[in-house]
Structure 1
Amino acid sequence: MHRLASSLVALCLALPAAAQSVPDFQNEAFVTPYWTRVPVIEVLGRANMEVAPNRASFSVTYLETDKDSKKAMQLAVERGRLAYDTIKKTAGESARIQSSVNVTALYEQYKDKDGNRIDNERSDKIRAYEARVSLSIVVDQVSKAGAARAGALALAPENSTGLSTYLERTTDMNRAAYEAAVEDGTARAKATAEASGAVIGKLMVVQEGTGPCLGQWSSMAGSDYDYYRSAPAAMAPPSPPPPPAPVAAGMVGGRQITITQADIDTLNLPSDDKPQQISASVCMIYALGK
């Protein structure tokens, strides 16, 4: 037994020595980054670019009431369809429109013992139907958004939202911000080296993010306006003025409704764009030159 225990102790003592005799270069590369073996400069390059908004959105709702459900829907859809046509004539394919329609029953009411009015929700107590057509519009040419919304307002919607302009980032925008951040990082590295009386050498590491060499894109975009931008000012008509050409026309409730450019210009209230921001950061590691 003493002889076996002595052999086990000797084996355990020998294992660490044997392990140390074989260098583990693979693990060493991860434990000790190669740029820590030489003097380096680590900087964070930043870019904050101002760009114009490239999207605008708004919505309108048209309500019609009738004792017949189908008639109420027809009236609301006619107004919604004419608004759709007007927006398309004004903004063209730059406008993307999503539409919806729903109907709500309006019931007769009675008073409870406290005097509160309560809907009598029975099928034989329906007094009318309210049809609601909603249009949600996104315009990717912001300069056309104000006129498009004015065209929708010309149909007198019961509800409407303010025009919201915002930024939808593109690949080119992201790349431009990244390149500007790299340029800023290089300038910072040179300034750091000069402050210490050295010069920068080879770029060893560059990675997008907020450091240390890790991170992701960041941006601030979006602005809601209560009003909408103006269309180009209409030129004075010649004398005598010709009859205004309709932008869109259609039947609503058996009546011919015509929307002219003058109707749109009257409702097109101007507003200024708020610049949008897109930001990027990069972590950069430079070796010191000789």
Structure 2
Amino acid sequence: MRASLTRSLTLGLLAAAVAAPALAQTPPATIGDRYIPAPWWMRDPVIASVGNVQVELQANRAFVSASFQSVERSVNDASRAAADQVRALSQALAGYGADKVRVETSVTTRPIYDQYRDGDGVIRDNTRADRIARYQADAAVRVTVRDVALIERVYATIVASRPTSIGQVSFSLDPENSWKANLAAEAMKDARRRAEAAAANAGATLGRVRIIDPSGRVCQTDVLAGWPSYAASGPATSVDEVVVTGAKAMERANFAPPPPPAAPAGGGAPSEDQIEAARLALQPPLQTLTDSACIIYSLN
């Protein structure tokens, strides 16, 4: 009896060990199989609807960089001269406040060696510590504009500071959490609108909700082809009128220039006339924000 019980337990454990991998398999079938088991939510008639929405928003971040170069006989003089060039600009831009304009600066130096011609007439650097002729210092400024209404003035201030080089102005969209939440809600509404239209056109009505998937992945499962195989969803619905008030208020402001900050102590910053003379039209581009959601309804 005891031996029989031990054998039964052993067989039971072996059966469980064999069944465990089968239960853990994902997906439950191989693509191309003749018969594909349907997911649980397809036991009754259902309709899977994907809500796709998009909205165009003006970029709310701008970036630009510049560099100042100085060449002196000593490393201290070169670094000090480059730092002096960038200090007044940094202070002028910092006057707007770190919540609107963020300024990062760095200074690097390198030696400039005497040169000579080798036996083949090629000019080479005499890279010896006692053959350093000058030191070159490069002061870099990277500016992040968090209030894009200031970008024209910030760029003009940089130009008026006469840097050695200026990088291209770039823009990006950093959506606020409320914008994302509003767009996610619109994706759900869009999914319901599409489901209602499809059911009505097919002569049915929507029943209760079976699944709500904010990621939209459930609706991409292609059961007929052997899931999970994914198909493209329909075109996105534009929801331009659902943008949060903050973005619209920024648009209505038409980028009116704010009052300039106070000039930094010690002078050296560009004058107001120089800044105005260097102004260019810089219109932040439109960026597309998208979201999707999947809702599965039963059908009546």
TM-score range, shorter chain: 0.7 to 0.9
- Alignment of 1:259 with 2:262, yes or no, is no
2:263 paired with 1:247: yes
Q: 1:154 to 1:90 in 2, by over 3 A?
A: farther
Where do 1:161-240 residues align within 5 Å?
161-213=167-219, 232=256
Q: How big is the shift at 1:116?
A: 2.1
Q: 1:162: how far off?
A: 1.5
Deviation string, structure 1 residues 82-131 (Cα, Å, up to 9, x no partner): 11011123566411111111111001111123332111011111111111
Which among 46, 54, 57 is matched to residue 40 of structure 1? 46
8 A contact 1:59–1:134 mirrored in 2: yes
User: Where does residue 274 of structure 1 map in the other structure?
Assistant: 285
Could you tell me which amino acid in structure 1 is paired with residue 298 of structure 2?
A
Q: Which one of 126, 129, 133 corresponds to residue 127 of structure 1?
A: 133
TM-score for the superposition, normalised by structure 1 = 0.73
Q: Deviations over 1:158-214 (max 9, x none)?
A: 111111111113221221221111111111101110111111121221112343347
Report if aligned partners of 1:231, 1:265 keep a CA contact under 8 Å in 2: no
Cα deviations across residues 60-87 of structure 1 (Å, max 9, x unaligned)? 1111111121111111111111110111
CA root-mean-square deviation: 3.0
Query: 1:88 touches 1:95 (CA, 8 Å); kept in 2?
Result: yes
- Which amino acid is 2:281 matched to? P
Q: Which of the pair has the greater relative contact order for Cα pairs under 8 Å at 6+ separation?
A: 2
Superposition deviation, residue 231 in structure 1: 6.6
What is the CA distance between 1:146 and its match in structure 2? 2.0
Distance 2:46 2:255 in 1: 55
Matches within 5 A, 1:96-175: 96-175=102-181
Distance change >3 Å, CA 214–CA 137, structure 1 → 2: farther
Amino acid at match of 1:247: A
- TM-score (norm: length of structure 2): 0.71
Alignment check: 8 A CA contact 1:91 1:145 kept: no
Which of 282, 286, 290 matches 2:297?
Answer: 286
Quick one: distance in 2 between partners of 1:34 and 1:161? 56
Question: Does the 8 Å contact 1:55/1:138 carry over to 2?
Answer: yes
In the aligned structure 1, how far is the partner of 2:66 from the partner of 2:171?
16
Q: How does 1:43-122 map to 2 (within 5 A)?
A: 43-90=49-96, 93-122=99-128
**2:107–2:138 CA contact under 8 A, matched in 1:** yes
Distance 2:63 2:257 in 1: 22
Gaps of 5+ in 2: 13-22, 29-36, 222-253
Which secondary structure state, in structure 1, belongs to the residue aligned with residue 120 of structure 2?
coil
* More strand as a share of residues: 1
Q: Which moved more, 1:164-173 or 1:38-47?
A: 164-173
What is the CA–CA distance in structure 1 between the aligned matches of 2:288 and 2:154, rounded to whole Å? 26
**SS of residue matched to 1:41:** strand
SS in 2 for 1:263: helix
Identity %: 25
Closer, same or farther: CA 174–166 of 1 in aligned 2, 3 Å: same
Query: Within 1, Cα distance between the matches of 2:164 and 2:139?
Result: 10
